[in-house]
Structure 1
Amino acid sequence: MRRSAAIMFASILAACASQGNPPTTVSGIPGFQPYSPNLPNYRIFPGDQLEITVYSAPELSRTVTVGPDGRIHMPLLDPIMVANRTLPEINQQIYSAMSSRLVDPSLDVFVAQYGPQQVFVGGQVGQPGIIEIPGQIDALQAVIMAGGFTSNANERQVILVRRQPSGEISSWAIDVRSGWHDPQLANLGPLQRYDVIYVPRSPIAQHNLFIQQYIREALPIDFSLFYDVRSGLN
């Protein structure tokens, strides 16, 4: 019985050894278009500060912060939902709301200050969690800020999850390893606020984890003691 189990275990190890690097899956990533006048307008998020100037009633002008619920508060008005809306849309909202209070509610809305630009980096990185991006950075730079790849990381299949302005959730696999030599080849593209970067385990690491769990949890205790995976796999 032990001999049969040993043969099975050796077969699994052989399969691990023959596992090569997965092929690159990304040749171009939708949503990573370069900056141009054709890009859609910026949409407001909680934490952004808006400067609202009411020309006919300066006493109503003020700087407001978008709350966690996505709303702002103005005198004489009910709370106004502005999250995920553009400045022209917000301008029209406030104008319509003030029309019942003012004869001429002409106003302008500007972004006084942008809220924290945060992304989440998880999986096989040194320090997974939320990081605040200092400017226009890509997935490789975000991983470096999160402590870099662990020894088990699959650098060729990093997952990017992004919520589009329409609300649709999109995801792509990125060959971040190529970015070490040529960021253009990797098609990394700039990250956006609230992007999620997930670094999965490499195929070898996944096989090793399977072996450890199988030996320790699935086999009878006399078999699991026979295969000391701690000395053989770590």
Structure 2
Amino acid sequence: MRVVLACLALLFAAPAAVAQTEPAIEATSPMVYSDQTPVYRFFPGDEVEVTIFSAPELSRNATIAPDGRLALPLIGAVRAADLTAEELRDTLVSAYAAHLRMPELTVTPRTYGSRQVFVGGEVARPGIYQMPANMDAFQAVALAGGFLPSAHRGDVLILSRASGQSIVTQIDLSMRAMRNGFPGAQPLQRYDVVYVPRSRISQVNVFMQQYVRDALPVQFSFYYDLRGGSRNN
């Protein structure tokens, strides 16, 4: 009986806490770049210019195919996706070394393919969004319509492969962090996933709805009288 009373107390206290929503997102946070910002890695759809100084006739612009490879004369298809411009250059130098004496070349990005991020969880419109420019997680949430009242803004998760391997980081997007300029915010990379989890209080609401309100055979109210203890009606 004590467990039921405690749950019911949470049931009527929780909506009041959730109702205290924070202001809607109106402003965007400034993007800060630093030496720690991940170096851009190529994706399918990116166009690169390969200039071979020792064999100019082999120089050309090429687009990275959906399989992540770049088709070039003499060496065929070479993996380019998930490599930086410097890493791709080193790969091509090694590949052309079998055909050219001391190959000298440069790799220059020309155009970039579709730049999408995935925003899910407790946001107004979860989905896939095109990045108009470099932006951070807060701006991505703004594109998705902002936070729901049930969002736990202090523990937003970002799944990224910008470093060449899957990494999950946690960022604070609360109002307090906003006032401090979102310290530690980094620009999102293409195909990053931004996930906004539920707050603890919203999880209590779901539990109470599914396992208390819907399970009880009768409807009754609960309140606490400081003079006489708890009462059920």
TM-score by length of 2: 0.73
Give, as a single letter, the amino acid of the residue that structure 2 aligns with 1:94.
L
**1:164 to 1:51, Cα distance in 2 relative to 1, 3 A:** closer
State the distance in 2 between where 1:162 and 1:40 align.
11
Provide the residue aligned with 1:231 in structure 2: none
How far residue 157 of structure 1 moved from its aligned partner, in angstroms, is 2.6
Unmatched segments (≥5 aa) in structure 2: 21-30, 222-233
Q: Do 2:14 and 2:201's aligned partners in 1 also have CA atoms closer than 8 Å? A: yes
1:159 to 151, 157, 179: 157
User: Could you say what secondary structure the match of 2:154 adopts?
Assistant: coil
Residue 89, structure 1, aligned to residue 82, structure 2: no
Counting only pairs closer than 5 Å after superposition, residues 161-176 of structure 1 correspond to structure 2 as 161-176=159-174
Query: Do residues 191 (structure 1) and 188 (structure 2) align?
Result: yes
> 1:179 offset after TM fit, Å?
4.9
8 Å CA contact retained: 1:42, 1:86 = yes
* Higher percent of residues as helix: 1
Aligned CA-pair RMSD: 3.3
Structure having greater relative contact order (Cα 8 Å, sep ≥ 6):
2
Pair 1:208-2:201 in alignment: no
Which amino acid is 1:226 matched to?
Q
What is the CA–CA distance in structure 1 between the aligned matches of 2:98 and 2:169, rounded to whole Å? Answer: 44
Q: Which amino acid aligns with 1:190?
A: P
Cα 1:173–1:90 shift into 2, 3 Å:
closer
Match in the other structure for 1:27: none
Q: Is the 8 A contact 2:172 2:182 kept in 1?
A: no
Task: Summarize the Cα distance change of 1:139–1:176 in structure 2 as closer, same or farther, 3 Å threshold.
Answer: farther
Equivalent-residue separation in structure 2 for 1:91 and 1:198 (angstroms): 35
TM-score by length of 1: 0.73
Identity %: 38
Taking the aligned partners of 1:92 and 1:58, their CA distance within structure 2 comes to: 18
Task: Note the alpha carbon deviations across 1:179-208, whole angstroms, 9 max, x for none.
Answer: 55x252554343232322111222222111
**Which residue of 123, 126, 139 corresponds with 1:125?**
123
